[in-house]
Chains A and B, each alone.
Chain A
Amino acid sequence: TQLLEQSPQFLSIQEGENLTVYCNSSSVFSSLQWYRQEPGEGPVLLVTVVTGGEVKKLKRLTFQFGDARKDSSLHITAAQPGDTGLYLCAGVKDSGNTPLVFGKGTRLSVIA
Chain B
Amino acid sequence: NAGVTQTPKFQVLKTGQSMTLQCAQDMNHEYMSWYRQDPGMGLRLIHYSVGAGITDQGEVPNGYNVSRSTTEDFPLRLLSAAPSQTSVYFCATKNRVVSMGYTFGSGTRLTVV
Interface residues of A (CB under 8 A from B): 2, 30-31, 33, 35, 40-45, 48, 50, 88, 90, 92, 95, 97, 99-105
Contacts and interface: CB of A to CB of B under 8 A. Distances in A.
A4 to B, nearest CB: 9
B98 interface: yes
A104 B40 contact: yes
Interface of B: 4, 31, 33, 35, 40-45, 48, 50, 58-59, 90, 92, 98-107
Contact of B104 (A44, A103, A104): A44
A44 B40 CA distance: 19
Contacts of B101: 33, 35, 45, 48
Contacts, number: 59
A104 B41 contact: yes
A99 B42 contact: no
Nearest to A45: B101
| Central interface residue in B43, B59, B92, B105, by most chain A CB within 10 Å | B43
A41 B90 CA distance: 9
B43 A43 contact: yes
Contacts of A43: 43, 90, 102, 104
Nearest to A50: B99
Contacts of A2: 42
Contacts of A92: 98
A52 B62 CA distance: 36
Nearest to B9: A40
Nearest to A92: B98
A105 to B, nearest CB: 6
B42 A42 contact: no
| Central interface residue in B48, B58, B104, by most chain A CB within 10 Å | B104
